[in-house]
Amino acid sequence: MTVGVAKEMAAGEDRVALVPSSLKPLLRKGIDIIIEAGAGTYAFAADEAFADAGAHIGTREVALSADIVACVHPPSESETQLLKKGSVLAGFLQPLEKPAIAARLAAQGVTALAMELIPRISRAQSMDALSAMASLAGYKAVLLAAARLPRFFPLLTTAAGTIRPANVTVLGAGVAGLQAIATARRLGARVWGYDIREVVREEVQSLGAQFVELDLEIEDMEDDAGYARALMAAKAKQQADLLVPHLAKSDVVITTAQIPGRTAPLLVTEAAVKAMKPGSVIVDLAAPSGGNCALTRLRTDVIHHGVTVLGPANLPATMPADASYLYARTMTALIGAFIKEGQFAASFDDDIFSSACITHGGQIVSRRVLQLLAA
């Protein structure tokens, strides 16, 4: 059995699906690993390092024709045609954002496992690539904000005077939000965290941040997968309005609220931006799914009412060495879990496999993807 890794061709993508240090668990199972020449260059994983770790360096065509192909982004149409029938493809396949990709993979006869659909259960923690990448994004978002803010983050007492700490508000207390809170605290800022899920209050406070209280009468807003549920339109508008006076006191706002397969909820209205002090910074991590801020523009830094609004698209790729290391660990855990006696064994009785699998045997097997395509 072979596992192949090709170089990522998506614009701005410097990660690689496996790194040299991640190969040992697969090699122990008797798997041959084929890496396209130069696949890890931008993640600082040289061909020589892969070869020393036990991989074979080959062409793109050979890597994509392996029994199992590990990727970060979904393959293009031409790359899909290189995947052999009956092979397995694992990666961030964007099934809820671009369901047509799943149809293409089904037509090719590929068993496709979407890393972003790995369930958030204890047994799958080692495979949770989405959380690993979200943590990197939350960290980097704060660094971007600190670099653009025309002030210090920490309290500074000098002979020339005392500078008060910056006020940072993080909207959304998932993995990215909690990492952003922790990073802002380490930089010395005063931090507030907000989430519609009451259950995360203690997590926010445990990191040294204050929990933002809003007078919203809502029930438990966490779904079975651990994500926030969408608010009804009237409540969503009320939430955004109630956030305005708090955001007006913030020097930095980091927004992280996203619901898989849906447009990001609007949390920061233009009125909220207008109420903020000139020089303030908003970093919108939900920009790829529409943005939590009304003024966000994807991959664009803009200034509105004196406030800088950043709409980054792929922050984990800006730290490709560690991002690739973490991603590779989750990838090898997923692949290794379903290798039985040297062969990949599809197991729809397994919660992890059935949740992540979107195509198998020439069919789309994910109910959510089928619903999206029907719509």
Question: Active-site residue numbers?
Answer: 120, 125, 128, 131, 227
Per DSSP, the three-state class of 314 is: coil
Evaluate whether 117 touches 90 at the Cβ level (below 8 Å): no
| 8 A C-beta contact, residue 91 and residue 17 | yes
Query: CB-based burial of residue 316 (10 Å sphere; 0-12 exposed, 13-18 middle, 19+ buried)?
Result: buried
The torsion defined by the Cα of 170, 176, 181 and 185, in degrees rounded to 10, comes to -140
Q: Give the C-alpha separation, 85 to 101, whole Å.
A: 16
Q: Residue with structure tokens 């309290």?
A: 155
- Compute the distance between CA of residue 281 and CA of residue 254 in angstroms, rounded to an integer: 8
- Closest to 269 measured CA to CA, from 236, 227, 315: 236
